Amino acid sequence: MSEYKSYYKEKLPDLIQKLKSMVDKNMELIDEDITTDLSEDKNHAVLKGRKMAAEDSVWALKKIDMLERELNGIEEEKTVKKSWAKTAADSKK
């Protein structure tokens, strides 16, 4: 009898690899030297593009981590936020 494997679980390794590739390409873009003969507008556009690449990379890295944990069946640790009053009450016990 064959074991059922969802399309989602089947494609997760491919997606993870594509996200890693995206991060690598973004890192190359961020590291490129800026030529000095750019106008102020073009220089601003280059810097803005690098900022977007860095932000996209941070998002992708977090997503990769989450998807790899899911693929490997590792439960994500839940953080519990307490209100200030609850924290103060707990500390007096």
CA–CA separation, 55 and 52 (whole Å):
5
Q: Give 20-60 pLDDT, tens digit per residue.
A: 999 999 999 999 888 778 888 888 998 999 999 999 999 99
CA–CA separation, 61 and 26 (whole Å):
12
Burial class (CB in 10 A: 0-12, 13-18, 19+), 26: buried
Q: Specify the pTM.
A: 0.70
Report residue 75's pLDDT band, with 50, 70 and 90 as the boundaries: confident
For residue 19, is pLDDT > 60? yes
CA–CA separation, 56 and 15 (whole Å):
15
pLDDT of residue 52: 96
State residue 54 phi and psi, 5-degree precision.
-65, -45
